[in-house]
Structure 1
């Protein structure tokens, strides 16, 4: 997907704030050749590792957990 350079966000503090305030993502993959999407809650842990860490959960009943 094309994304113009002026939409890039390179500031780590801005990215960390965004991830703390928006802890809900859409995971999109393909299953049997068709798009498959799951909404997931995520928490951003800024103190883990060099760039922080995203922590989330996928229910075992959801087909995404196998991939």
Structure 2
């Protein structure tokens, strides 16, 4: 194994971080997923419920878009 490129799982390569609003160590995560329901209030609540079941606190839906009509 090349020791130069070897990194422990807990190390962060700051040269590879992309600046789009991430703050290192703030505890926030971003998830993207598709649900088999029509876009709207029910879909937003389903997304929050799913994320809570994943063990995350205070989930927020910041964007949603229907993939197709119907």
Of Structure 1 and Structure 2, the greater strand share is in 1
Larger Rg belongs to? 2
TM class by shorter chain equals under 0.3
Structure 2 length normalisation: TM-score? 0.23
Structure 1 length normalisation: TM-score? 0.24
Of Structure 1 and Structure 2, the greater helix share is in 1
Higher relative contact order (CA 8 A, sep 6+): 2
